[in-house]
């Protein structure tokens, strides 16, 4: 959408900005327009938020009906009749969908011809955007209607749309297949690219044993045994996740070097396995609230020898290079609120400094922008 379209037709860039809506003034004292938007631009943004469910669902439909793909693949604009043949929709359905797409800004439409915009191209072709959209649609969309209740109760009230579990991790294997696949794709989205950058740090001192706490589907464990032919890896996770990890790792020829320890870290107070040279946690601690994080870190510390190293990899809100990454992390915090457990979030760097101090761990190395989004903390026991 062109910027000019967001201006009132009676108001030009040379007109003194007015804070009037269609009928009456917003307030006696106008707010400071520090964001640099003209009133009608701000009004447009406000209504884009107000109509956001329509924007999202229309965009999903335009993508899933193959319209964005056809427009992205085409070497020239496509006609309305060509899109009718492609989608199998009625003229009415296609027309309202294309008009919505035009207002959203993901396609342009001039008379009978349609073409894709740059925003539409990212929706269709950018892997991160596609995974985020699938996750929002298949996992979060219905449950987010319970966000206010979740904020009040600090419980994942939106999870009830899938089942009666206290956290999403308990029911992950029982989610509808489409939701489960979208959850897994989102969970691996950022860490997959960071793993290869982080693993040389983990193996800097050639550990013979690695404890993967919160090992999820076992992807990092599989990477470890491929990286070092002698290392043994033990995955610690919720029993439901352990079964998923076993399923994913069973086909690996070296899977005998991967071992499992099923435990609910919040409700099962058995000591963690001991005697591991390196302990690894990736995108695990952000699944818990601050008090639980400190408690888990303290348990890990108690299992460590003085020479052992703890590696914690997390995407931190305040260490992002790009506005897109920061935006996505802040929205992901609301997934934890409404769907995952009602208590956790994406954290800042200083939060983790505080957690480590409280658990009597000292940071011996700290690396940021590890494949764009992630940070890596290397910690040891602090016995002072």
CB 349 within 8 A of CB 320: no
Q: Provide the β-strand partners of residue 315.
A: 374
CB 217 within 8 A of CB 244: yes
pLDDT at 166 over 50: yes
Per DSSP bridges, beta strands 232-237 and 209-213 are parallel
Average pLDDT, the chain: 90
pLDDT at 16 over 60: no
CB 342 within 8 A of CB 153: yes
Q: Which two tokens stand for residue 310?
A: 């703890």
381: left (phi over 0), alpha (psi -120 to 50) or beta: beta
213-237 per-position pLDDT tens digit? 999 889 999 999 999 999 999 999 9
Mean pLDDT, residues 147-165 taken together: 97
* pLDDT, greater one: 145 or 33: 145
pLDDT at 32 over 90: no
Cα(377)–Cα(138) distance, integer angstroms? 33
pLDDT at 163 over 90: yes
| Confidence bin at 120 (pLDDT 50/70/90) | very high
* pLDDT, greater one: 256 or 7: 256
CATH number for domain 3-17+34-123, candidates 1.10.10.10, 3.40.1130.10, 3.40.1350.10, 3.40.50.620: 1.10.10.10
Q: Give kind and range of the element (H or E) at residue 148.
A: helix 147-153
Going by C-alpha positions, the residue among 287, 285, 313, 315 that lies closest to residue 300 is: 285
Cα(94)–Cα(87) distance, integer angstroms? 8
* pLDDT, greater one: 9 or 268: 268
The helices-and-strands tally (H runs, E runs) of the chain is 15, 10
Topology at the third CATH level for domain 188-318+344-381: Rossmann fold (3.40.50)
From residue 7, alpha-carbon distances to 12, 15, 19, 32, 292 in Å are 7, 11, 13, 19, 50
* pLDDT, greater one: 76 or 19: 76
This prediction has a pTM of 0.86
Picking from 24-38, 56-70, 186-200, which range would have the lowest pLDDT averaged per residue?
24-38
Residue 368 DSSP SS3? strand
Q: What is the pLDDT of residue 12?
A: 40
How many other β-carbons are positioned within 10 Å of the β-carbon of residue 368? 15
Domain boundaries, the chain: 3-17+34-123, 188-318+344-381
């Amino acid at each position: 959408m062109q910027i000019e379209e967001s201006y009132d037709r009676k108001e030009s860039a040379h007109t003194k900005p007015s804070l009037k809506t269609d009928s009456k003034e917003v307030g006696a004292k106008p707010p400071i327009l520090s964001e640099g938007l003209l009133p009608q631009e701000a009004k447009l943004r406000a209504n884009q938020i107000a109509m956001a469910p329509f924007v999202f669902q229309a965009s999903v439909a335009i993508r899933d009906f193959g319209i964005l793909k056809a427009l992205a693949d085409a070497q020239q604009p496509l006609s309305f009749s060509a899109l009718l043949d492609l989608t199998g929709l009625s003229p009415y359905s296609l027309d309202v969908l294309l008009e919505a797409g035009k207002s959203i800004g993901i396609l342009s439409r001039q008379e009978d011809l349609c073409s894709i915009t740059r925003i539409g191209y990212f929706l269709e072709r950018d892997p991160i955007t596609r995974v985020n959209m699938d996750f929002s649609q298949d996992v979060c969309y219905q449950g987010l209607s319970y966000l206010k209740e979740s904020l009040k109760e600090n419980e994942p009230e939106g999870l009830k749309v899938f089942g009666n579990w206290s956290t999403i991790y308990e029911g992950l294997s029982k989610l509808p297949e489409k939701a489960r696949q979208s959850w897994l794709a989102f969970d691996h989205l950022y860490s997959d690219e960071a793993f290869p950058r982080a693993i040389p740090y983990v193996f800097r001192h050639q550990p013979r044993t690695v404890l993967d706490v919160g090992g999820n589907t076992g992807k990092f464990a599989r990477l470890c045994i491929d990286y070092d032919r002698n290392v043994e890896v033990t995955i610690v996770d919720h029993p439901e996740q352990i079964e998923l990890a076993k399923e994913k790792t069973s086909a690996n020829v070296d899977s005998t070097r991967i071992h499992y320890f099923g435990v609910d870290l919040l409700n099962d107070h058995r000591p963690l396995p001991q005697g591991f040279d390196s302990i690894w946690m990736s995108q695990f601690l952000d699944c818990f609230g601050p008090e639980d994080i400190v408690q888990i870190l303290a348990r890990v510390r108690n299992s460590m020898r003085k020479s052992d190293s703890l590696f914690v990899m997390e995407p931190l809100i305040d260490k992002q290079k790009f506005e897109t990454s920061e935006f996505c992390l802040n929205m992901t915090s609301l997934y934890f609120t409404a769907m995952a457990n009602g208590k956790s979030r994406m954290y800042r760097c200083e939060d983790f400094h505080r957690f480590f101090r409280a658990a009597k761990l000292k940071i011996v190395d700290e690396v940021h922008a590890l494949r764009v989004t992630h940070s890596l903390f290397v910690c040891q026991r602090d016995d002072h």
